[in-house]
Every structure is written in structure tokens, then in C-alpha cells.
Chain A
């Protein structure tokens, strides 16, 4: 450790310190604004509780949906050679780089009841309306979270040596057994990391949700939406909820500590 730090130039260390301060200061600023004495009361307020309930439920559902859609997609991207592969890869990446509000507008164009390509059909045939519903929140969150899961799984699948699966096949394992007993255990680290990244992205989603699913308290108002809405009417509540979201994020990092924090020694 000592030999490394003596080799690191001073300006690099100063730059790194500035970087740390830049990242830490907003968190300190937020913590300073939290009214600790009323924290419990603020967090048990109806609007806050509703928002947390919707956020947790929708983000977990979105992560599961992302897994159902994302695993086959990652599999094909990692293991198959097909003509439109680069196009599919770009499509998968798009929600990652797209401004979320634009994603919300695009979702309206697809699943909106009045103007959507598919939404009108869904409504006239089955009476299903996705906008302004909990399903709308889940869809918006899945849309932005899916790329994180696909990329993580694709990377994981690429790193698995095919010979393990091949030898399992030689020994007579069916494709399902092969997947469950060989591929899945090898894939587990990337799967866990991907699920956590996707879940965190879903939990933090704002732009696509407010555009596609609206901002209905108790129905579609997620925690980030509630923070934004309360910032004017009830700042104390907004800070309390922000603190809770920071705490959840820190919890997530603790969960991922082996992968990110201190995992660089190799």
C-alpha cells in the first residue's frame, strides 16, 4: 500500500480528494436537512407510506419482468450469431442512454389508451388501460431497467466456458437440467449484480413514470415522484423520504460490496 501511494503524484491525489468531496457533499447536505426529531412521523405519513409501498412493489415486479424478458435476450445476444444482432444490441442499450421522459413519451405512443399503437387495441378488446395504473408504473420501470440486466447477463454468459455445458450434455443432461445445474450456478454472480442494478434503476425511475403513469397519490406516485411533489408542500417529508432512499441505496451497495467495494484487488 505504501509503495503505491508514494508512486501516486500529488496532483492525482488532490484530484481524487476533490472527487470524493464532490460526491460526499450533497449527501452531507441532504442529511443536514433531515429533521431527525420528526423523521418517524414523516415516514409513517400516509402519502409517504403509499409512495414507498408502490415503489417497492413496482420495482420488484419490474425486476422480475426484466428477468423474464432479459434472460432469453441476453442468451441470444451472447450465444447466437444472427443477422440483426448489432441492431438488437443497440435497441437494448437505447433505454439506457435515452432521457427517461422521452422513454415515457415513447411508451405513450405504444401503450397509451387514446393514441398508442397497442394501447388502443388492448383497451377496446380487453378493457385494459395501462396508463395511470400500477401496471403503467411497472412497465415504465421495466423499460428503463431491462438494459442493465441484459448487459450484465450477457457479460456473464460470455464468460462461461461452453465446455462445462457440453460435457453435461455428453453425460446426458437435458437442456433444462444443464441450465439449472451448470449454467445458472456459474451465472449467479452476474445474475445477482444485474438484478440489483436493474432494481436500483427501477426504484429511482422518475421521468418515464410521471409521463406514462402519471402522479396519482396511492396509485402511481412512487417515492421519487413523492419527493418531487412534496418538495414544495411538505419539505420535511421530502427530505425524510430522500433519506430513506439514500439508506436503501447504501444497503444495496453493502449487498454488492464483494463485487464493487474492495473487489478490485485482483
Chain B
């Protein structure tokens, strides 16, 4: 009896086996894997630190990482970007992390409570929230209060710092948005993407996110009186195998060189 599920399998196998493109793609793939290995062999032995950082830091930390590696050739930085609340869960469940940089300070309180950090974090930057809309602002939104005009609003997950900050801003305006109009991004980047590449009408994101996406969105600032002061904290995770190198990275972020990069990306000094 010829089974149709076997058919699915054998068809897939035959077609994939015939894919001549693999012959072309594989060597390229292997070469791209092999290249950095060769480069490393020539240099001194490096120690690698893992920095788990809030998604809103993706651009600025990538740049800081490059400059840090140039200044400290023996240390290599590997980043893990996600929402601060996801990173807290990851660290609590034992994800190997040397440095944690969060978009708030309460994330550190949670880690202090579970003993994953021993010291209070150092504040390395400040941020605020901003409203972003589609380029040209087709709905004519001028303030947070106008958000009721839009049909889909992108906000961060309720537990992520950017989601908590957005909720604070909305409550300061006394604006209540039905959950049926809110699409929840898993982190700050995803929340912004819903407006910049997707079809959401508006989003409340970090002022720095709005800076990095200035071409694909229009921004509307939120006055300081109703805005939040997002404090970014950084600290070394307990049990880090490279705590010395981790401390070096933390100092670099707090140093004038690190602060200069943060400033270029729109972050405010602590």
C-alpha cells in the first residue's frame, strides 16, 4: 500500500536532493564560518564576555562593543538583546551572562531578590518615551490624547519596561485604550517595527528608538511633565567566570568614551 505521508517525505527528499543550489551555497556558507576562525588564531587568546542588554540598546551597544573591543583587544563581547524582563527570566533560569544592562532598575531588584546580582546597579543612561506615527502623520495625531483616532496601536509587552513606561504615560494623559486595539511587541524593537515596517498607526517607544528609525516613522514628542524618566542600569552577574573583564566593560560604558557613544545615539547622561 502506497502511503501518502511516505509520499510527502519521499517527494521532499527527492526535491531537496536535487537542489543543485546547495552545491553552490554550502561552500560559501562553510567559508563564512571558517574565515573568523583563521583571524582569531593569529591574535592572542581572547576571553569572551556575554552582555545581555535591553532591546532598546541594540544600536548603541553594538557600537560601544566595537569600540570596547578595539580598546581591549583581549576581550571579545557577545551580545544577547531582548526585553529586560525576558533577560531577567533568562538569567534567573541560568543563562550564562556576565553583564546585564536593563532599561529600568526594577529588573535589578528582581535579580537582587534571587541573588543573581550582589550589588545595586550603576545608572549609565537616561531615556524618555516618544510617540511615533506613520510618515506624514496621515491621522493627524499631535498628542497622546489623539491615540483614540488610530485603529491599531503598538505597545510593548505589559511586563517589559517599555510597556510599563507606556502605561504610565497613557495614565498620565488619562487615556484608556481598548486591549482590542493594542498589538503587543515582544520588545522595544518589535514594537517600533510594527509602525516602521508594519501597518500599526502609532506606537509609544523610547525617544532613542525613534531617532534610529527617523526615516520610516514620524515622531511626536511627549512633554517632560507627562513623560517618564527611564533609568538604565548596568551590573555584573554573580557567578560570572570573567568578572574582571565584565567589570572592565561596565567601566567602559560609564567612561567618557562610552558616554560619548550613548550621547550620539540620543541617550541622556545619568
Partner of A228, one of B12, B186, B198: B186
A174 within 8 Å of B (CB atoms): no
Please state if A193 and B179 are interface contacts (CB–CB under 8 Å): no
- Interface extent on A, as a size class? 35 or more
Say whether B179 contacts A218, CB under 8 Å: yes
| Chain B residues near A108 (CB-CB < 8 A) | 197-199
A:223-266 near B, CB below 8 Å: 228-229, 231-233, 259-260, 263, 266
Judging by beta carbons under 8 Å apart, are A158 and B183 in contact? no
What separation, in Å, do the CA atoms of A131 and B1 have in the docked complex? 44
Total B residues in contact with A, Cβ cutoff 8 Å: 35
| Pair count A-B, CB < 8 A | 108
Of chain B, the residue at the smallest CB distance from A212 is B198
Q: Is the pair A148, B197 in contact by a Cβ cutoff of 8 Å?
A: no
Task: Assess whether B197 is in contact with A115, with CB atoms less than 8 Å apart.
Answer: yes
Q: Check if A112 sits within 8 Å of B199, measured CB to CB.
A: yes
Please choose the segment from B2-10, B44-52, B247-255, B256-264 that sits at the chain A interface, where 4 or more of its residues have CB less than 8 A away.
B2-10
**CB of A105 within 8 Å of the partner chain:** yes
CA distance A212 to B193 in the complex (A): 11
A259 cross-chain contacts in B, Cβ below 8 A: 3-5
A183 within 8 A of B: no
Distance of A93 from chain B, by nearest CB (Å) = 6
What residue of chain B has the Cβ atom nearest to residue A129's Cβ? Answer: B199
CA A214 to CA B203, docked complex, whole Å? 13
Is residue A42 contacting chain B, with contact meaning CB distance below 8 A? no
Residues of A within 8 A of B (CB): 89-90, 93, 96, 105, 108, 112-115, 119, 129, 131-132, 148, 151-152, 154-156, 158-159, 189-190, 193-194, 197, 210-212, 214-221, 228-229, 231-233, 259-260, 263, 266
Residues of chain B having any CB pair with chain A under 8 Å = 1-8, 10-12, 15, 85-86, 89, 134, 151-152, 154, 157-159, 179-186, 194, 197-200
